Structure 1
Amino acid sequence: MTSILLIGNGKLPGNARALIESADIVCRFNLPPREHEEFGYKTSVLYLATTAKQIGREIVSGRLAGNRFFQEAREIVFPYNPEVAARYLKRPNWLSLLKGRRADWSGDCAKICLSSGKSLRAVSTQNYEDICKALGIDVSAKNLFPSSGVLALFDVLNAGTEVRVPVHMIGFGFAGWKRHAWAMEEAYVKSQSALGRVAVLG
C-alpha cells in the first residue's frame, strides 16, 4: 500500500520535513511558495493548473522548467483538462486576451513536461463533474470552481485500492481565490476525514 501526502500552499507545520520524507508519494500544487523550500523539494506529483495566469507567466518567461519543485516531480497532472477548460471555466475577457492571456496553456505546458522527461496526464472530465457534484457546485453557472487541491484529493481518493488511507494533508488553509468554494471544500474534507479516508495533519 502506498502512503500519500498532499501539500497545500499554506503554512506548514514544524514537522513537515519528517512528514514529507516519510511519505511514499508527495503531491504538490502549482508553484509552492518559497517558505516551503526549507522543508525540502521532494515532489512525486505536481498538479499544474494550466488555466491559471501564474502558470502562463512561468511558461512565457521560460522559468517553469527551472523551478525546483517542477524538476523534482516525476509526474505532472493537469487538474483542469482542455475539455473542462473549454466547457466549464470562464474565458478571459477581451482585454486580457489582447494582453496575451489565454484560457488554457496545457499545450505549451505539455511540450515542456515531455521535453523534461515527465510523465503527463490530466484529471478526467468525469472526475471534475463528480467533485463539483460532491461539493454542491453548479457547473453550468460558471461562478464557482473546485481548487487544484480538492481536485487532487478527489483524484487520489479515486486512484484505486493501492492507496493507503487515510491520505495525509498539510498546508491547507481553505482560503484564496474568491471563485473557489472554500467552505464547501473544507466541509468535504471533514466528511472524508470522518470516514477515515483523510487525515489533516496541519
Structure 2
Amino acid sequence: MKTQSVLVLGNGPINMDISSEVNHFDRVVRFNFCSGFPEHLGEKCTDLWLSSRGKQAKKLAENFPKFNMENLQSVVLTEPAPNPVKQHFFKTIKRKGKIDFSNDIIKNIENKHIVSRLDKQYRRDHLIDLLKLGKPDHKPVCPSSGLLAIAHFLERGHKVTIVGFGFQGWKRHPWRLEKKKISQWVEQGNVRWLDLDSMPDC
C-alpha cells in the first residue's frame, strides 16, 4: 500500500485559516458534521467517520451535511453492527442513546461500497491499550472516533497529521489517556500536529 499523507481534522475549535493547507494532503478525515465545513477549514474530505447510534446519529440521519462527495474514499460507522432484538427493545423503552440510525445515514452516501464499520474487538483492543497508560477519570466505554481514526491510518503505514483535538467531550471517552497516547505517537515521530503558528487568523 502506498504511503499517503493524512490529515485527521478534529471537531475542536480551529481559529486559523487552514483551507489551503488542507488541500495539500492526500487524504482528509472528518467526523460527523465535519465542523460545518466553514470556509477556513477547506472543503476536501476523503474519509468520513460517523456516529451511527444515539443523539448525534439521529441528527445526522435527519440533517446530513451537504458537501461534494466526489473525493470521498471511505465512510466508517464508528459503532458496531446493531443487534436487531436489542434494537427493538431500545426503541420500545425509548432508550435514545442506544438506538441505531445507520440505515438512514447510509442512504445519504452515494457509493454504498465505501461504507464500513468498526467492530467491537477493534474498539476494545484500543481501549485496553489506553488503560495501560493509567486510570481514567470516569469509567470509559470506548476511545473517541478521533483516536481510533488516527490509529487506523497509522496501522496502514500512512503519515498522519492532526489538528482540532481538544481532548474533551463525552465523559465516557478516556480523554486524559488519549492525550497521553497521542503525545507518545508525536514523540515517536508517528504523528505530528499541524503547525498553526504560520497560519493567518480567520
Q: TM-score, normalised by structure 1?
A: 0.77
The one-letter code sitting in structure 1 at the alignment partner of 2:144 is S
1:52-86, CA deviations, whole angstroms, 9 ceiling, x for partnerless residues?
A: 31221231x3x21x5227676332111222169x9
Counterpart check, 1:177 vs 2:162: no
More displaced 10-residue stretch of structure 1: 125-134 or 18-27: 125-134
Counterpart of 1:22 in structure 2 is 24
Question: How far apart are 1:110 and its partner, in Å?
Answer: 2.9
Counterpart of 1:117 in structure 2 is 111
Q: Secondary structure at 2:173's aligned position in 1?
A: coil
Query: What stretches of structure 2 of length at least 5 have no aligned partner?
Result: 197-202
Q: Secondary structure at 1:51's aligned position in 2?
A: coil
Question: How far apart are 1:4 and its partner, in Å?
Answer: 0.4
Cα distance change of structure 1 residues 184 and 10 upon mapping to structure 2, 3 Å threshold: same
Counterpart of 1:150 in structure 2 is 147
Cα distance change of structure 1 residues 142 and 11 upon mapping to structure 2, 3 Å threshold: closer
Question: How far apart are 1:123 and its partner, in Å?
Answer: 2.3
Question: How far apart are 1:30 and its partner, in Å?
Answer: 0.9
Q: Share of identical aligned residues, percent?
A: 26
CA RMSD of aligned residues (A): 3.2
The one-letter code sitting in structure 1 at the alignment partner of 2:151 is F
Q: Distance in 2 between matches of 1:45 and 1:6?
A: 9
Q: Distance in 2 between matches of 1:172 and 1:120?
A: 25
Q: Distance in 1 between matches of 2:68 and 2:168?
A: 22
- Which of 41, 44, 63 aligns to 1:42? It is 44
Query: What stretches of structure 1 of length at least 5 have no aligned partner?
Result: none
1:96-141, CA deviations, whole angstroms, 9 ceiling, x for partnerless residues?
A: 43xx66432223323432xx12511122433212211111189xx9
Q: Is the 8 A contact 1:6 1:169 kept in 2?
A: yes
Question: How far apart are 1:182 and its partner, in Å?
Answer: 0.8
Q: Distance in 1 between matches of 2:104 and 2:121?
A: 24
Q: Distance in 1 between matches of 2:68 and 2:98?
A: 24
Q: Distance in 2 between matches of 1:108 and 1:54?
A: 13
Cα distance change of structure 1 residues 132 and 143 upon mapping to structure 2, 3 Å threshold: closer
Say how many residue pairs are matched.
185
- Which of 103, 107, 111 aligns to 2:103? It is 107
Q: Select the structure that is richer in helix.
A: 1
Counterpart check, 1:73 vs 2:69: no
